[in-house]
């Protein structure tokens, strides 16, 4: 994954700044998951157009819409809030991923999210979110940090450690939505821990580790 970059950052950087902004020095270096942050479908599509103009899209393994970042800088309660705030508005997320799919029809569109927030939490709410987001067919893979996040009271670092892990919730989602694949993260520090997070009933279920985790062994 790239670091999450907002649509505003991409649009302000223009063609010449997009490669530097995304940290992609060599577009032929290997598959890259472009992680975008935003809540406006038209701006997300425009950001993809800028990135296409900067160095094409053929090196992208996926375009990921971040619906999990708890930082108050992005997950605010304004109309333009994004990150984890988007979990409160699954219909908007569906419009966003549909716009990304139209802008980049050859690139898989994925979503990264939490189990919910302190303002929208519970298995039924999470199931409703996944159902709505995947209903249009644009999203067939979801990456889940298997914790809720608290938009009030915890820092981003604390939100990566304090809320309890609920990996079995992600396993349940894989059973409920067989047409979507899921990968889970949270607290993975070794291959053994990653294997413990796998779902023995669904081979398509995966795990992933954060950018700051040392090479797994």
Q: State the catalytic residues.
A: 69
Is 55:47 a contact under the CB 8 Å cutoff?
A: no
Q: Rounded to 5, what percent of the chain is helix, strand, coil?
A: 40, 20, 40
CB 44 within 8 A of CB 100: yes
How far apart CA 100 and CA 66 sit, in angstroms, is: 13
Instruction: Tell whether the torsion through CA atoms of 96, 186, 74 and 212 is positive or negative.
Output: negative
Query: Is the alpha carbon torsion for 149, 110, 167, 169 positive or negative?
Result: positive
**Residues with Cβ < 8 Å from 109, sequence gap 6 or more?**
62, 63, 64, 65, 97, 100, 101, 138, 139
């Amino acid at each position: 994954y790239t670091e999450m970059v907002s649509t505003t950052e991409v649009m302000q950087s223009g063609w010449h700044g997009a490669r530097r902004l995304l940290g992609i020095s060599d577009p032929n270096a290997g598959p890259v998951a472009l992680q975008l942050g935003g809540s406006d479908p038209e701006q997300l599509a425009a950001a993809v157009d800028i990135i296409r103009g900067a160095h094409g899209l053929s090196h992208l393994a996926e375009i990921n819409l971040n619906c999990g970042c708890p930082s108050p800088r992005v997950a605010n309660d304004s109309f333009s809030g994004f990150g984890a705030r988007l979990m409160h508005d699954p219909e908007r997320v569906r419009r966003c991923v549909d716009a990304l799919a139209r802008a980049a029809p050859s690139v898989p569109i994925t979503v990264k999210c939490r189990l919910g927030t302190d303002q929208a939490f519970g298995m039924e709410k999470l199931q409703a979110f996944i159902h709505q987001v995947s209903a249009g067919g644009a999203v067939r893979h979801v990456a889940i940090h298997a914790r809720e996040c608290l938009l009030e009271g915890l820092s981003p670092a604390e939100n990566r450690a304090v809320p309890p892990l609920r990996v079995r919730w992600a396993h349940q989602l894989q059973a409920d939505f067989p047409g979507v694949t899921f990968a889970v993260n949270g607290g993975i520090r070794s291959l053994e821990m990653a294997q413990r997070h796998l779902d023995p009933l669904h081979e398509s279920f995966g795990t992933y580790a954060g950018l700051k985790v040392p090479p797994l062994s």
